[in-house]
Amino acid sequence: MNYSELVGFMVKSLVDHPEQVEIREIEGEKSTILELKVTKDDIGKVIGKHGRIARAIRTVINASATKTGKRVVLEILD
């Protein structure tokens, strides 16, 4: 399962600077951590009002992670 690609697909279509989207996947034993980095101007576009967009992205990731039984955490870095 390639989470970076999934997150990249969603995030890149939301931001103004898709070329500056960076995603790092840190694989652990029980969980995978995804670190997402976008430019300062775009950060609101991936978090949204009251974190609505970030929550939707996390829900989508979790749905695709159910089968693997692994926890996937999305961290948005600033």
User: How many Å apart are CA 40 and CA 62, to the nearest integer?
Assistant: 26
40-59: contacts with another protein (CB under 8 A): 50, 52-53, 55-57, 59
User: How many Å apart are CA 22 and CA 36, to the nearest integer?
Assistant: 6
Q: Where do the DSSP E strands lie in 4-70?
A: 22-27, 31-37
2-21: contacts with another protein (CB under 8 A): 2, 5-6, 9-10, 13-14
Residues making contact with another protein (CB under 8 A): 1-2, 5-6, 9-10, 13-14, 50, 52-53, 55-57, 59-60, 62-64, 66-67
